[in-house]
Structure formats: structure tokens, C-alpha cells
Amino acid sequence: MSILIDPPRWPAHGTLFSHLVSDVSLQELHDFARAQEISSRAFDKDHYDVPQERYDQLVSAGAREVSGSHLVRSLVSSGLRIPAKHRPEKLDGILLTRWGRTLPSEPALGKELLELWSQAHRFYHDRVHLLSVLEAIDQLAQGAVYGEELLQLQLAAWFHDAVYEGTSEDELKSASLARKLLSGILDQRSVSTVSELIMLTAGHTPSDADNLGRILCDADLEVLARPEPAYQRYAQAIYQEYEHLPRDVLAQGRIQILETLIAKGSIYGTSRGKQLWEAAARENLNRELILLRGWL
């Protein structure tokens, strides 16, 4: 076990807090936290914040005492450290700047969407996911999509999980919201295109002739090809969104989704997506399937 804890020196809520991390895997960290009955709400992307009254008990349970600087260096070396741009204090500025380049005439709409993406119940389908999809579109659309079509793609990304309740109706409700809020801003043909693109993210099965659909779906699935530590963060965030389910039920549902993706001839529909992400995504999915089958 490689669980690390630094001294309680971080003030908040009338006490001091320590950081609890693993320098091996998020799974190890979450298993330790669960065994010590640390609330999942104390998890902040790559560490748990734990109050000073728990410090001695966590050390006795096996957490290794290290300095704050040692803990950060170990987290960075492990690949589990969250990039600075994905921290809450950075995300709003980055995303609003991007919105200003996408639809500069509608700053209030950008703020309204950002509030939706910032809802407390979101662990994966949050602002980090939104930024990641937008950045993936940058990669896939570069040199191939321009003007009105690029605007449609970017707006579809902004709206595609704007409604997130963890149900099969999310994409339908998000598409409906896009039609409602974009009517009168875009022409009706563009509004319809954005709505149709959003609906494709429900199953990620665009036709071979649908260039914009293939780009959006590939961008939405880029996360599957992340380096292993980042993929672990993604999977754990998904589990958090469904922590209200019994673990075996969660595992069965997740297994079905992953097996459907693996059964496809190719997970990604664009040639660029296949080149960049196909092999890594399949490796990550197979690794997660082993974990989930172990839960059963």
C-alpha cells in the first residue's frame, strides 16, 4: 500500500486539513478511504481532504506521513495529479473565454450553460469534461471544418450534457434545451443540426457520411484513451455519479456499456480519432472490465 498523508496545515471550516493520496492508483486510494469510512464528498479530483482529528487514526491504519512537498512530488510522478487547468478556480475563466470566441454576442447564455455544467451532483459530466470535448474537437476539426459547421460542432459540445440527471432522457432534454435557447440566435437549419448532433451522443453511432457527427462522438469518447492514471480518474468519477446503486448493479451496467464499445469494429469514427486513440482506448476498456468483473 502506498497511501500518503501530509500534516494538517490547510485551514477550512474552523479546523485544519490534511491531504490523503495514493502514489499508485485511485482505486487503492478509494479502497483505503472506504475502509476508513471517509465520505466520498471529501474526495477532490486526486486527493481526499481529511480533518486533523482523523490524522493519527489514518496513520495508524497505514497512511505514511510525508511532508506537503513530498506528497505533491509523489502525486505528480504517479501521473495522478490533476492538471492546473482542470481545477475549479481555472475552469470558469478558460471556458468563458472559449465561449466568447464561439458566440460573442451571447455572454449571458454562456454563463447560464456554465452554471448547468457546474452542478454539484456532477463528478464526470462536469466542466472538465466540457473542456476536454472542446479541446478534442479542436484536434479533430483542425484543417477540416470551418465557419458555420465548426460553430455547430462547438455549440453541440456546449449543450450535449447541459442537462445531466443520469437517465436515458438526458440527451433528449439537452437537445430540447438547445433548440429552445438557440432559436432566434441561429437560423433554424443550424439549430436543427446542433440538436441532431447532441442526440448522437446517446449511442455514439453516427453514419459514415456524417462528418460532424463522427467528430463530436469521437471527441466525447476521447477520455477512453487517456493514460492509465487519467483513465482511472474518469472511471472513478463515473462510479461516483452512480454510487447510489449497489456495486454489483453498477458493475453490470458499466460492463454492458464497455462490452458494446469493444464489440464495435472501431470505437472511433474519424481516421484521426482511430490513429490517436483506438489502441489505448481498447487497452483501458479491457483493463476496467477485469476490475468490474471482479466486483461480481
pLDDT in tens, 193-246: 999 999 999 999 999 999 999 999 999 999 999 999 889 889 989 998 998 899
In terms of domains, do 91 and 182 share one? yes
The residue range of the domain holding 283 is 224-295
pLDDT in tens, 31-45: 999 999 999 889 988
Last residue of a domain, one of 155, 185, 220: 220
The domain spanning residue 132 has which CATH number?
1.10.3210.10
Examine the pLDDT at 284 and tell me if it is beyond 70: yes
* Contact status, residue 41 vs residue 102, Cβ threshold 8 Å: no
Structural domains counted in the chain: 3
With a pLDDT cut of 70, the percent of the chain lying above it is 100
Mean pLDDT of the chain: 95
Examine the pLDDT at 1 and tell me if it is beyond 70: no
The number of helices, as runs of H, and strands, as runs of E, in the chain is 13, 5
Query: Which carries the bigger pLDDT value, residue 200 or residue 84?
Result: 200
* pLDDT-based confidence at residue 20 (cuts at 50, 70, 90): very high
Dist. CA 153–CA 145, nearest whole Å = 9
In terms of domains, do 244 and 191 share one? no
Dist. CA 114–CA 102, nearest whole Å = 14
| pLDDT for res 89 | 77
pTM: 0.84
In terms of domains, do 197 and 114 share one? yes
| pLDDT for res 86 | 83
| pLDDT for res 87 | 80
Dist. CA 239–CA 235, nearest whole Å = 6
pLDDT (mean) for 163-179: 96
In terms of domains, do 102 and 205 share one? yes
In terms of domains, do 149 and 107 share one? yes
Last residue of a domain, one of 39, 56, 81: 81
Distances (CA, A) of 134 to 35, 69, 86, 158: 37, 33, 13, 8
pLDDT (mean) for 148-172: 97
In terms of domains, do 91 and 216 share one? yes
Last residue of a domain, one of 36, 62, 81: 81
Examine the pLDDT at 88 and tell me if it is beyond 80: no
pLDDT in tens, 90-143: 899 999 999 999 999 999 999 999 999 999 999 999 999 999 999 999 999 999
Estimate to the nearest angstrom the gap between the alpha carbon of 60 and the chain centroid: 34
* pLDDT-based confidence at residue 184 (cuts at 50, 70, 90): very high
In terms of domains, do 116 and 142 share one? yes
